[in-house]
Structure 1
Amino acid sequence: MNKRWLIALTVSFLFLQASSQPLFTYGKYTGETSDFLRAFNKNNAQTSKDKSKAMKDYLDLYINSRLKIQEAYARGYDTLAQIKSEVDNLRSQIIDKYMNDPAAETRLVNEAFQRSLKDIHVGHIFVSFTSPSGAIDKAAADKKLNKIITRLNKGEDFFKVATDASDEPASNTQKGDLGYVTLMSLPYAIENIIYKLPVGKVSKPFTSKAGYHFFKNLGERKAVGKIKAQQILLAIPPSADGETKKKIGLRADSLYSRIMAGGDFSLLAAEFSNDYISAATGGNIPDISVGQYDAEFEKNIWGLSKDGAVSKPFLTNHGFHIVKRISVKPVVTDPGDKTNMDDLKQRISFDDRWKTAGDFIYERVKSKAGFRKLNYNETALWAYSDSILESKPIGNGRIINTDTKLFTIGDTTIPVTQWIAYAQAFRYKADRSGLKAYPDLMDEFTKNAMHEYYRSHLEEFNEEFRIQMSEFRDGNLFFEIMQQEIWNRTQNDSSALLSLYQKNKDKYHWQPSADAIIFFSSDAATARSYHDQLKKEPSSWKKVAESISEKGVADSARFEWGQIPGLENTTPVAGAVTSLVINPTDNTASFAYIVKVYTSPAPRTFNEARGLVMNDYQAWLEEQWIKDLRKKYPVVVNQKQLQRIAK
């Protein structure tokens, strides 16, 4: 192995090993290295020099925050209605984002891209479950299926078997030839079979709701993309006899001759085409990809060799067509084309393959939480279900009741009462053509239960989701306990603030300052108009301050010189307007009008010093509280671990 790779792998292994070890303990609780590193990297993104010092300094702040959050849990703040509501609201807002597996999404997009590069010529044999009389006759279908398998296994020609035996309505004219298909031409389950078939091979029978299917890969080609075209359709009525069809064919020939003589295709389509939707737009039809239309139609339209070419009239089950090629859009072959990949992802989200992106849930629930089917009599359960849902005699369903347990997921047990509720809501087929079979409905119910378990326990399955929810909950708890323990006390304990001020009067002094009005605006243009007005007429400052719009604020107070925008280390002058200061990052702007100047330091009154006193009192409260918390939750830092990660 390359030495550089070996060193890199060794470093990565050691880092992962270090990240998995605790960094500190506080009481009986553990501070994980990975959690600390995630917080450090998020809040110290610009740290480049002396990382070791920055990390050690941040660790002290991080430990203090964990102590406060743990105390909030100890006080039961996580059960407060407001906290629970905010956490639940966030969960409902973000959970759907995490219910799909990113790896599955990526796999589906990459698979779709690879399949989009290739068209496959497909043969098809179909055995219907429905008899000619319209009745469901699966036994007859099975018998016919076995005969077809025997003929194919003997090497008989696929198209001969299709012509003789396929129940496909078009089999007599197409002889089992579906033509070319491409990505998303067919249902995903069938597409999977076809795209995995080697050229010349026939698939095993595939069972659909309608019957059995055989597919043969007749050949492959590079995908041809999409074609933009116009058409004229002369439809043949279902009851048309041979003479009528002949007349329609002659009319098609006449239209073709007019087009070849220079007739306007769009005008002729608008006048004569029986495809009334496209006729309204001069014969323009939506872009066509392979496998969308009748095989004969696609053969003719893709047979046009250049833009502007017009086909001779040709016949399909719909009637006589004349088509004109406008342009061809080739398939995108670059996997780095973001627009194309995003388009594929969008198409996949509306395709039946998207359902498979969520199938990982069932395996993950089984492997991580555990799934166990319990012992119950299925026949009795179906009888019991009939008695509830269909008011039928209960029979041997008497051994089942609403508390009978069906299966467990993790530590959750699913009883019959939940099954009945689900069956009442979802027992009909989607097309309302009848009832679902109980075994199929039970399979749906079981998957739904696993899906709901996964959703309600997502923190146990998805680390990123767990972290986001944990950080949000802890942030709310931190705010709540700081509000109760520090901020409210600072706001409300006036006597303590006054006492602190009186003990430290010498600390609270004005540096050189000025009474001033600071004008601030959310956009520079508005600020400039105020500034220009005051520069011309400084005495109008009251009028300007009173007329300020919603885009501006005027703040009147005493400010130390360093707090006044636009002063730029100069001595302020009463009646002067400072320079306009524009923030280039957000286009906000500010300046000041100087009312009165104080050049010498002076003591602050209690009211003037109140903000500074509150800051000092808050710092003192927090310092005392942290001492108490560290007594309650003794902190021990793993110094060796800290040295490892601080390198």
Structure 2
Amino acid sequence: MKRFFTSLVSMFLLVCSFAQQNGQEVLFTIDGVPTYTDEFLRVYNKNLDLVQDESQKDMKAYLELFITYKLKLRQAKELGLNEKRSYLQEFEGYRKQLAQSYMTDPKVTDKLLREAHQRIAKEVKAKHILVKVPQNASAQDTMAAFRKIKQLKKRLAKEDFDTLKKLLHDGKELFVEDLGYFSAFNMVYPFETMAYNTKAGEVSDPVRTSFGYHVIKVEDIRPSKGEVTVAHLMIRERPNDPNDTVKVQPAQERIKEIYGKLQQGETFESLVRRFSDDRNSAINGGKLPRMGSGRSSSQKFEEVAFSLEKTGDISQPFESQYGWHIVKLLEKHPVGTFDDMKAELEAKVKKDMRSRLIDQSLVERIKDRYKVKEDPKAVNAFTTMITDDFFEKKWKKPTDKDFLNKVLVSIEDKVIRYGDFASFLEKQQYNQRLKKGDSEMMIRSLLKDFLAKEYLAYYEANLEKENQEFAAIVAEYRDGLLLFDLMQTEIWEKAKSDSIGLQGYYEKNKGKYRWKKRADVEIASCTKQSFAKKVRKLLAKQKSIQQIKDEINEGALINVIFTSGTVEEGHQALPNGFKFTEEGVSRIYEEKDDFVIVRVKDILPESQKSLQEAKGRVVNDYQQYLESQWAEKLRQGRTIVVDEKVLSKLIATNN
């Protein structure tokens, strides 16, 4: 909720904490505190295209909103909301998350993104053999594993794979596996790189990963499946209400009836509009956002969507964890251009081993940017302390204060000591990936990781000084969160908890909260007029829905489908323009794709909604009322002075 609200605030008024006051004119003051023209203009121009209310594009009107915003922030600080622990924690969380976007080397990142885009356009089919060996294995064990994988490369190139697997695969030290097709980001980066650099039909050279040594046999390289756009009709399973005498129709039975109507010539879009339980997509004919392979939350849905070959193809009914579906293929999309996919690729790179390459490059830049001094004796000092206890998870960091206080590295005025690295090592002994081996190699690797984190942490802590854009966005988040807490305290919670005030507001505005005319109905949709005539007669004879379906439907052939319940005029299943005038059976209405009859069982006239029935809307309206009253109260006792000459100049300059 806070993230969403902060985004709205950013769109509406934020970006206002970095007024460049040098030589800028004062636009207005609040109790003598100035706000400058550049700050206001930056906010106004940024949000001009985002404001949908045309009146707010008027600079004078927008200035009033901006002043109200400033007053709200001032009150939040006067109430001490900016010192609340929850606020500070939330702000720090936002800052840390945002900082990740700025902790990068643009050149290295761009190179990796373009490489990933080239690879993601293809899928590689491969098999491999892995000889496991720990990352910090001794030189002797590492060489033995390397010799073994060299021998296995020859066998993988010549011998039958299935036979090799039966002979060699043990699932512990030696793995012989068919990986099928994969694309970029599906394998660890060194493995992926070797696979994409090996031609189809060939066996790669050995490649080292965190798991050990691999050789890869590439069998095929094909274009990626890309993405698809599909539409769906969904029916959810609804439990029966024990207090309801009418049983709910099972979802599987209902979707089969709908599928029958589809086979009989009714359009997919029409059926979606009338019957789909996914109302968000139903208004667009069931259309869903573009979907890529491996990115759907339902594997079954994805399988069916990608199995459709031609535009317009429609699946048979199938079940997912969300309900029953019928899917229609609207369009197939090849892999997008680099510019189209850049943001998506960047997000994946940050979660992938590639991010280490970016971090390493950034670390080198940081070491060049700041005054850094490392102790070259640290590796030897710590290597001598690593005993078998470390691998048995019994190792304790030394207690010698002189040793712990030694300076490991200094970054400008920040000092990291031996004791800090010793604490890091104490935690690392529980890392399951660390196996007994070459202690010096392990210490070098861990020290490199530790120092990299310290360099990056220092850079992140000073990002506001290094990057003005980051500093401005951090200010947006800071003020947005503060305003959220203020609104929560002053408006939203009051509107929910003030039952007397809410009741009073409802009583004064009852006319806004009324039921339209409603009716308890049974709506029959038929594929042909001849069936509609039969259904109408049966409805007039007071036959039940099930009796009519048993008589009209012919096995798998669905000639009539029903919608029943209490509905308002204008409901999607009713004939266009149908009005509730009297009880009984209507005439046959010829709609676009079928013939519709309505049996009106009971008419409920327009009536007043109770507060409970209209509570959601009443609370929302009451919140808006409280906010408008509060905004007026904020100005009381404040001295607000707008420089009309400066404002006129701004209006003239920006028209």
TM-score in terms of structure 1 length: 0.42
Higher relative contact order (CA 8 A, sep 6+): 2
The normalised TM-score by structure 2 is 0.41
Q: Which has the larger radius of gyration?
A: 1
